[in-house]
């Protein structure tokens, strides 16, 4: 088989693989990506963790209501940036929480938790 035919044969074999990668979802390391399913139980668990950690550190009594929106960032693990609706006394407020998780190590850390100005 000539070199030209060998290159064409390899191209024909690799083309479906290239197409599969092009059609698949690409994860960009370091870039923030919207969370498509904010109702995912794991996302809710991360949000509840954030509220609990904030309550503990600040001696507050915020009550988790829902995840409004969120994004993830692939780092050494995953960072979650979530806007969380909470009940505070008799009013509802939104907070932005950033949580870093290394799921395989069972590690979570609240990075920030700040009130969102509406």
Assess contact for 43 and 80: CB atoms under 8 A. yes
* Domain made up of 28-115: CATH architecture: Roll (3.10)
Q: The pTM is what?
A: 0.74
Give the residue extent of every domain in the chain.
28-115
Q: What is the model's pLDDT at position 12?
A: 54
Name the nearest CA neighbour of 62 among 49, 74, 52.
52
Concatenated DSSP letters of 57-69: HHT---EEEEEEE
Structure confidence by residue, pLDDT tens digits, 71-113: 999 999 999 999 999 999 999 999 999 999 999 999 999 999 9
Q: In whole angstroms, what is the distance from residue 68 CA to residue 54 CA?
A: 18
């Amino acid at each position: 088989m000539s070199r030209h035919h060998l290159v064409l044969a390899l191209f024909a074999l690799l083309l479906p693989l290239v197409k599969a990668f092009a059609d698949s979802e690409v994860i960009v390391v370091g870039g923030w990506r919207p969370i498509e399913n904010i109702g995912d139980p794991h996302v809710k668990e991360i949000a509840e963790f954030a509220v609990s950690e904030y309550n503990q550190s600040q001696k507050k009594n915020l009550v988790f209501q829902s995840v409004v929106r969120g994004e993830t960032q692939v780092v050494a693990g995953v960072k979650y940036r979530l806007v969380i609706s909470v009940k505070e006394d008799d009013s509802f407020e939104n907070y932005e929480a950033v949580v870093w998780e290394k799921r395989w190590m069972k590690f979570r850390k609240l990075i920030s938790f700040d009130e969102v100005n509406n």
